[in-house]
Structure 1
């Protein structure tokens, strides 16, 4: 017998995800960033801040995004002056990615807006509990 939708974790996750995504879209609108653009920009910004010179493959792995889609979105971010891509001298097939000055200014502002959405959205659930429940679902090791 099928579960009632209100007792289906997948159905509830679907609805929660849609609510969260709508809120993220609204928060990122003033920055003229889509959610995936935000994720990739802040990933490059974070990796840059850690002293890394990531290539597109490393950015995709860090963000958990498809490699081809990552390349297309990074190309858009580059045309918007937020990242710079250059051929890796060690591997001419690879593109190294760096955040530009403009991208370095925008990333933390957009991140603050997204973090506020997260704080508001997850307020009904203690942060430690939310992380404990979500981490195993990501397929990533425990922090």
Structure 2
């Protein structure tokens, strides 16, 4: 029987999009498992870790955080509210922009971000350990190329 799908690929395994989809789903499963003991979703972790990582010598806005993490601004706002309810993020009026909110991780948020990050980095090492070190560097370089396309 011949497949009905019109495609440029002789075999589904040749599709980079399908391969990325499958790898992303498998990797996300491992990250969800690593984050479960910390009671954080993946996006909560990414935003909390990003906020903890970012230079806060000037106020960090939700827009700044969303740009850093590559997330939607409205979704970022919703997730920040959830992290605030958990006591991990504090929101305050921006000192110079009356329309903006300044974000800071709380001491508890910083501690949770660091504990969770240790587990996430261990999950990354385990998952990406299937690649040799030089292949992993090349893979990461290619991902960054795709991430910075405009």
Q: With structure 2 as the length reference, what TM-score do the two structures score?
A: 0.87
Instruction: Give the C-alpha shift of residue 137 in structure 1.
Output: 1.3
- Gaps of at least 5 residues in structure 2 are 1-6
Instruction: Give the C-alpha shift of residue 74 in structure 1.
Output: 0.3
- SS of the aligned residue for 1:86 comes to strand
The reply on whether 1:47 has 2:43 as its aligned counterpart is: no
- SS of the aligned residue for 1:93 comes to coil
Instruction: Give the C-alpha shift of residue 71 in structure 1.
Output: 0.5
Aligned residues between the structures = 140
User: Which one of the candidate residues 133, 141, 144 is aligned to 1:135?
Assistant: 144
Compare CA radii of gyration and give the structure with the larger one. 2
Q: With structure 1 as the length reference, what TM-score do the two structures score?
A: 0.91
Instruction: Give the C-alpha shift of residue 73 in structure 1.
Output: 0.4
**What is the aligned partner in structure 1 of residue 119 from structure 2?**
113
**What is the aligned partner in structure 1 of residue 43 from structure 2?**
36
State the alpha-carbon separation in 2 of the partners of residues 134 and 2 from structure 1. Answer: 23
Q: What is the CA deviation profile of residues 15-43 of structure 1, one whole-angstrom value per residue up to 9, with x for unaligned ones?
A: 00000001100100000000000000001
**What is the aligned partner in structure 2 of residue 79 from structure 1?**
85
- Gaps of at least 5 residues in structure 1 are none
Instruction: Note the aligned Cα RMSD (angstroms).
Output: 1.6
